[in-house]
């Protein structure tokens, strides 16, 4: 079997993997290689053009994982998108870049992660980006990833509408990077304002350094497992390299003189660990895999955001994105003109215009808070979904959930605003209603249940496929989650929709037109319409061993001397918003840790 040798072997050329490769290869004395199962799609127009990102889901650039159990309606498995290409999910996602809150990131330190927390992550996230303010304002930072806001007339009008409307509730615009996320936030998108192309790790981090003599990128190379040194009997396992299968079916071993770093994502990183003999002893033995490290927490603690939303009819004379969504020729032509002029629009940006975070105490009454607190007490005595947890972690998790739900400053729910129709109540998700609409999405920022992902076969034939695994992801929503979403949904209709100037843009409402006459109606609506985001984290959590961690705060896999994980799977608790910004930060900080503590 042919083998090549490098100092650093990085498994996965996705969002985190390419950042680590770019940073570590700054040292010309280190030979670094990246092994990516997908291909280089840097020149693919659907990847480059922001508005075509929905076309990338469930296609050849998506691993297209599916949950092993049906959705809340019992109709079909849940879709679990993950990029399969250089750049990974940063090349197929929906662009929104919003750092998490201070309380969320500081909670990491309570789980045993010294040297992390908000201040560390804030510095690391800022290192990754350059922020371009609207209308030719001065840019901030010098990082590879370019951040912009949508400047087209339609989108800018709706952003202003929400800033002015939420001012009626006493909320001022919030800086997304402040750490104290409360009130309206104008969303940044990962788009280059000069080229108008997606800004992601393949073109922002990798392209400028591709010519480095000490950096090797191997695409079409699927890692089956980590290979450990055979002459280290009885000692701490030492990673010797990885077993790789090429796209042509050829197997080889790529050896590592110093470190093997898994950056294969929330599903593939625990899969590789288990195939390598690191995981729950009973599961591995049942599959005939030799146990290298017995750790039952590999693949556990899976978390994700759930969401629902309500749609409001908008006056015919008020512009929305509906005509573009229906692909009406005049609207498509106008969008193309806006994109060509570099002003964003639905082709040039995500069109998830803005968001807002508000404490639960602001969206429900005293009786509602009492009901939430009772559900909290009930939840404390039962497992949080299918994931196992140590007593220490469960105690910390329950305390964290309670603090978020009862806080006067923290927000367990996040509103996202979209100037168009969203098919929450339609049987066909591709349906686009006639007329103009506005959607208020409510995303559950702190979901209660946690799930798990595990291999169900030791065969390497599954390694480049979305098969051979059980993805028990903790869905449908827990009763506590349903209650929180229902309270936010009611607030959206009964309060937000009545704020000026937003209310003045809606079609007049008829008497008794409210969908939610009482909280039970809102609960029924949430149970029927709750969807699933693609914000997966947690399956190789960075926590102390007492808490049930898989890696320590130096990213080392417990029980191994030179094997690390650095991707979204190490995030121990789901971020308050889209996790993209957090992944950029953990990869930047992770690269520094690896460089400073390398064997």
Cβ atoms of 297 and 549 within 8 Å: the answer is yes
pLDDT of residue 381: 75
Taking only the tens place, the pLDDT of each residue in 228-272 is 998 777 789 999 999 999 999 999 999 999 999 999 999 999 999
Judged against a pLDDT cut of 90, whether residue 77 lies above it is answered with: no
- Confidence class for position 79, pLDDT limits 50, 70, 90: confident
Lowest mean pLDDT among 64-68, 133-137, 316-320, 522-526: 133-137
pLDDT digits (tens, 9 = 90+) for 581-596: 999 999 999 999 999 9
Return the closest-CA partner of residue 12 out of 145, 206, 301. Answer: 206
Report for 41-45, 136-140, 336-340, 564-568: range of highest mean pLDDT: 564-568
State the residue for tokens 């002893």. Answer: 281
pLDDT at 474: 77
Q: Is 96 annotated as a binding residue?
A: yes
Token pair, residue 383, equals 């497992």
475 marked ligand binding residue: no
Q: Does the structure show a pLDDT above 70 at 556?
A: yes
Q: What is the DSSP string of 65-127?
A: EEEEEE-TTSSSEEEE--B-BTTGGGGTS--EE----HHHHHHHHHTT-TT-HHHHHHHHHHH
Instruction: Grade residue 75 by pLDDT with cuts at 50, 70 and 90.
Output: low
Which residues are 84's β-sheet partners? none
Element containing residue 254 per DSSP (H, E): strand 251-262
Bigger pLDDT: 454 or 341?
454
Q: What local confidence, expressed as pLDDT, does residue 562 receive?
A: 96
| Percentage of the chain exceeding pLDDT 90 | 79
Position of tokens 């127009």?
45
Residues 6+ apart with CB under 8 A from 52: 45, 46, 347
* β-sheet bridge partners, residue 440: 310, 417
pLDDT given for residue 511 in this prediction:
62
Nearest to 44 by CA among 53, 36, 34: 53
- What's the token pair of residue 288? 């005939």
Residue 486: the pLDDT is: 95
Is 95 labelled as part of a ligand binding site?
A: yes
Write out the two tokens for 157. 């009008």
Residues 6+ apart with CB under 8 A from 146: 129, 130, 132, 190, 191, 192, 193, 199, 204
Lowest mean pLDDT among 31-40, 373-382, 399-408, 490-499: 373-382
Q: Which residues contact 442 (CB under 8 A, 6 or more apart)?
A: 307, 308, 309, 413, 414, 415, 416, 485, 488, 489, 492
Task: Take residue 146 and report the two structure tokens written for it.
Answer: 């370019």
Among all chains, which residue has been given the structure tokens 């090429």? 246
> Is 228:292 a contact under the CB 8 Å cutoff?
yes
Q: Is the predicted pLDDT of residue 569 greater than 60, yes or no?
A: yes
Distance CA 493, CA 363 (A): 11
212 vs 53: which has the higher pLDDT: 212
**Among 360, 363, 491, 355, which residue's Cα sits nearest to residue 416?**
355
Q: Has residue 3 got a pLDDT over 90? A: no
Average pLDDT over residues 561-581: 96
| Dist. CA 261–CA 243, nearest whole Å | 14
Mean pLDDT rounded to a whole number for the chain: 93
Residue 352 pLDDT: 87
Q: Please name each of the domains of the chain with its CATH number.
A: 157-186+306-444+478-529 (3.30.560.10)
Ranges 131-145, 275-289, 331-345, 461-475, most confident: 275-289
Tokens of 309: 């939303």
Asked if pLDDT for residue 74 goes beyond 60, the answer is no
List pLDDT tens digits, range 376-399: 888 877 777 778 889 999 999 989
Compare 297 and 137 and report the one with higher pLDDT. 297
- What's the average model confidence in pLDDT over 273-286? 98
Q: Is there a binding annotation on residue 580? A: yes
Asked if 546 contacts 510 with a C-beta cutoff of 8 angstroms, the reply is no
DSSP string, 173-235: P--TTSS---EEEEPEEEB-TTT-SB--HIIIIIGGGTT-TTEEEE-SEEEEEEEE-TT-TTS
pLDDT digits (tens, 9 = 90+) for 166-205: 999 999 999 999 998 889 999 999 999 999 999 999 999 9
Structure tokens at 77: 């498995």
Q: What is the pLDDT of residue 447?
A: 87
Query: In the chain, what percentage of residues exceed pLDDT 70?
Result: 97
**94 labeled binding residue:** yes
pLDDT at position 232 is: 75
Predicted pLDDT of residue 219: 98
Known binder of ligand: residue 70?
Answer: no
Is omega for the bond preceding 446 within 30 degrees of 0, making it cis? Answer: no
pLDDT of residue 379: 80
Strand partners, 206: none
By the 8 A CB rule, do 357 and 423 touch? Answer: no
pLDDT at 297: 97
Rounded to whole angstroms, how far apart are CA atoms 515 and 411?
Answer: 24
């Amino acid at each position: 079997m042919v083998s090549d040798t490098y100092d650093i072997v990085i498994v996965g050329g996705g969002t985190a993997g390419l950042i680590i490769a770019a940073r570590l290869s700054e040292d010309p004395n280190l030979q670094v290689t990246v092994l990516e199962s997908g291909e280089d799609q840097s020149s693919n127009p659907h990847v480059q053009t922001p508005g075509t990102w929905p076309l990338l889901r469930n296609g050849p650039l998506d691993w297209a994982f599916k949950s092993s159990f049906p959705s809340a309606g019992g109709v079909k498995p849940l879709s679990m998108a993950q990029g399969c290409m250089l750049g990974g999910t940063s090349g197929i996602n929906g662009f929104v870049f919003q750092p998490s809150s201070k309380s969320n990131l500081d909670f990491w330190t309570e789980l045993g992660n010294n040297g992390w927390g908000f201040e560390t992550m804030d510095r690391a996230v800022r290192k990754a980006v350059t922020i371009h303010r609207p209308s030719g304002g001065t840019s901030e930072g010098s990082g590879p990833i370019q951040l912009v806001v949508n400047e087209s007339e339609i989108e800018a009008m709706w952003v202003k509408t929400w800033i002015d409307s939420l001012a009626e509730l006493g909320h001022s615009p919030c800086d997304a990077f402040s750490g104290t996320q409360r009130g309206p936030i104008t969303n940044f998108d990962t788009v280059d304002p000069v080229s108008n192309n997606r800004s992601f790790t393949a073109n922002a981090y990798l392209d400028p350094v591709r010519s480095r003599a000490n950096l090797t990128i191997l695409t079409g190379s699927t890692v089956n497992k980590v290979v450990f040194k055979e002459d280290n009997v009885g000692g701490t396992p030492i990673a010797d390299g990885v077993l790789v299968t090429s796209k042509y079916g050829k197997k080889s071993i790529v050896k590592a003189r110093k470190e093997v770093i898994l950056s294969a994502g929330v599903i593939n990183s625990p899969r590789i660990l288990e195939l390598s003999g690191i995981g729950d002893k009973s599961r591995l033995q049942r599959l005939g895999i030799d146990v290298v490290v017995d750790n039952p927490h590999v693949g556990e603690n899976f978390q994700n955001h759930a969401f629902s939303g309500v749609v409001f009819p908008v006056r015919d004379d008020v512009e929305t994105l509906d005509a573009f969504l229906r692909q009406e020729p005049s609207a498509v032509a106008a969008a193309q003109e806006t994109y060509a002029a570099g002003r964003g629009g639905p082709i040039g940006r995500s069109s998830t215009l803005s968001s807002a975070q508000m404490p639960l105490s602001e969206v429900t009454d005293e009786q509602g808070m009492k009901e939430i607190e009772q559900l909290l007490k009930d939840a404390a005595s039962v497992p949080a979904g299918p994931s196992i947890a140590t007593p220490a972690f469960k105690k910390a998790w329950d305390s964290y959930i309670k603090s978020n739900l009862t806080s006067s400053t923290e927000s367990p729910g996040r509103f996202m605003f979209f100037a168009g129709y969203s098919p929450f109540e339609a049987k066909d998700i591709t349906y686009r209603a006639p007329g103009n609409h506005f959607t208020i999405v409510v995303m559950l920022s702190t979901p209660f249940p946690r799930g798990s992902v595990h291999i169900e076969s030791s065969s390497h034939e599954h390694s480049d496929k979305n098969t051979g695994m059980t993805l028990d992801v903790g869905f449908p929503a827990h009763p506590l989650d349903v209650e929180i979403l229902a309270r936010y949904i009611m607030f959206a209709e009964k309060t937000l929709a009545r704020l000026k100037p937003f209310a003045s843009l809606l079609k007049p409402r008829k008497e008794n037109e409210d969908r939610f006459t009482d909280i039970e109606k809102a609960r029924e609506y949430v149970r029927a319409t709750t969807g699933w985001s693609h914000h997966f984290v947690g399956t190789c959590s960075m926590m102390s061993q007492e808490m049930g961690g898989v890696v320590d705060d130096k990213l080392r896999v417990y029980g191994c001397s030179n094997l690390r994980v650095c991707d979204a799977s190490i995030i121990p608790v789901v971020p308050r918003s889209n996790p993209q910004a957090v992944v950029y930060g953990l990869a930047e900080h992770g690269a520094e840790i690896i460089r400073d503590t390398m064997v």
